[in-house]
Amino acid sequence: MVHFDVSDIRKNFPGLRRTMHGKPLIYFDTAATAQKPDVMIDRMADFMRNEYGTVHRAVYELAVRSTEQYSKIREKIVKFLNAELSEEIIFTRGTTESINLVATSFGKTFVNPGDEVLITEIEHHSNLVPWQMMCEERGAGLKVIPVNDAGELIIEEYEKLLSPKTKIVALAHISNAIGTLHPVKEIIAKAHNVGAKVLIDGAQAAPHMKVDVRDLQCDFYVFSGHKLYGPTGIGILYGKKELLDAMPPYQGGGDMIKEVTFKKTTYNVLPLKFEAGTPMIVEVMGLGAAIDYLNEIGLPTIEKHEQDLLRYATEKMTKIAGLRIVGTAKQKGAIISFVVAGIHSLDIGTMLDLKGIAVRTGHHCAQPAMRRFGLEGTVRISFGLYNTKEEIDLFIASLLQIIQLLKP
């Protein structure tokens, strides 16, 4: 772990040096996708220029070296999540594909007509629609765990929904829409008590806090590279080996096979069984570099910095007349969703953009979550390791000007 100096950190991110509408960029949309550090960009470029070769498929030197590097990064992710085995780490294209893989393959194996899947009221569409599709296909029921007005899961209602019919509980570690940090360890234990499995969507958690899948005892954990300061097009599925062994392949093609004849195909061992086709070799190299970068700083250090920013911004925003923060859970990730009375969120986002401040507006791919709070959408700010209190001060000043200008 190194001494954390945000001004030094910011020098590592070329994207933060640009301007937007002639103003210095203030990037408050890390929950959507993170800016990229030079070390990650350089690693991908260097690999493509000097080391590029395919993996698993050839005996020539370039391919052998590429395969060695590729395998080392899988081991790096084992340590990053404190998993037990490299076979438990599956490379996918992102969180969305990881969830679709589990919903499809787990569903075929374990879900029968009359069984039930539980999700929460505030899930991202990626952790809702695949389960809907699977339930329709398997004749299963989808049950929804409600949240209170603060955006916290109502544990008593969750306990009532759990039954021997429950096959899997799927929920975000941290809500992308309103920032709620769920008590996932407790939720997992309660699900296991009725024999259900649990998938945790870690897209908003893995880049911001230390995740230990063995401590959580989750059955599946998923996240995306691009939110973890890595490239797009690469994601991770962690699954307990005995479950992955029992599940059929998600896609067919190269690498996932053991022997192919016109009569019958036998499948490869884990993790290759779930990695059909030429993999995302360059993106895996980028993800490995991003993980090295985060490990050097230290995830506990990053979490503390972002939580300081969250408290600072929340305190200032609660003093703004007419502004309501949506999602006031006691435990939150560094995400603030808000609305201002009488002003459309899109207008606020557009005006902030003209001042060089990048925020997200709309339903955040979580329309049911918005409806729970009687809204069509919100303005969302989200912090990364490179954000500062000075940026928050500029944001607050700009927001006050916009409210003054647009208020009815």
**Mind listing the pLDDT tens digit for each residue in 72-103?**
999 999 999 999 999 999 999 999 999 999 99
**Token couple for 323:** 């502004």
Burial class (CB in 10 A: 0-12, 13-18, 19+), 52: middle
Q: What is the pLDDT of residue 1?
A: 44
Strands 89-92, 235-239: parallel, antiparallel or unpaired by DSSP? antiparallel
Longest CA–CA span in the chain (Å) reads: 72
Rounded to whole angstroms, how far apart are CA atoms 364 and 296?
31
| Strand (E) or helix (H) holding 74 | helix 61-81
pTM for the full predicted model: 0.97
The superfamily CATH assigns to domain 6-30+298-406 is: Aspartate Aminotransferase, domain 1 (3.90.1150.10)
| Strand (E) or helix (H) holding 141 | strand 141-145
What are the CA-CA distances from residue 9 to residues 32, 131, 207 (Å)? 20, 39, 15
Q: What is the pLDDT of residue 115?
A: 98
Do residues 348 and 393 lie in contact, with contact meaning Cβ atoms separated by under 8 Å?
A: no
Domain boundaries, the chain: 6-30+298-406, 42-296
In the three-class reduction of DSSP (H, G, I as helix; E, B as strand; rest coil), residue 166 is classed as strand
Q: Please identify which of the residues 365, 379, 385, 402 carries the catalytic annotation.
A: 365
| CATH architecture of the region 42-296 | 3-Layer(aba) Sandwich (3.40)
- Give me the long-range contacts of 130-134 (CB less than 8 A, separation at least 24): 130/99, 130/100, 130/103, 130/104, 131/103, 131/170, 133/103, 134/103, 134/104, 134/107
Q: Let me know if 218 is a catalytic residue.
A: no
Q: What is the pLDDT of residue 3?
A: 66
Low-confidence ranges of the chain (pLDDT < 70): 1-3
